[in-house]
Amino acid sequence: DGDLKFSLESVKKLKELMDENRHINPRMVVSAVSYSPCDEKDLPEEFQPVCKREDASMIFERLNLAVRETDLCEICANAACAGCF
């Protein structure tokens, strides 16, 4: 994401955390706008610097979108990959 780089496995873990939050009963959850993966104890350590940024929620959402496709090959999920469909 821009000049930030994260391992694919960490981004997949981020997606799992964000997806778990979205599937909880809506009456039990504070609005999705106030949700932050930074509050998750299982958030990979490499995301801790992102949590200190004002644009953290946008970064996390873009990373989540990057691995949204379940059949996306791991090579194509890498932003440096060229020629993927």
pLDDT digits (tens, 9 = 90+) for 19-62: 887 655 555 544 455 678 898 889 999 999 999 999 998 998 88
Residue 8 vs residues 3, 22, 37, 66: alpha-carbon distances, Å: 16, 21, 16, 10
Query: CB-side exposure of 25: number of CA atoms within 13 Å?
Result: 2
Domain ranges in the chain are 8-75
pLDDT at 85: 47
pLDDT at 83: 52
Overall average pLDDT of the 58-74 stretch: 74
- Quote the CA–CA distance of 52 and 26 in Å, as a whole number: 27
| 77 or 63: which leads in pLDDT | 63
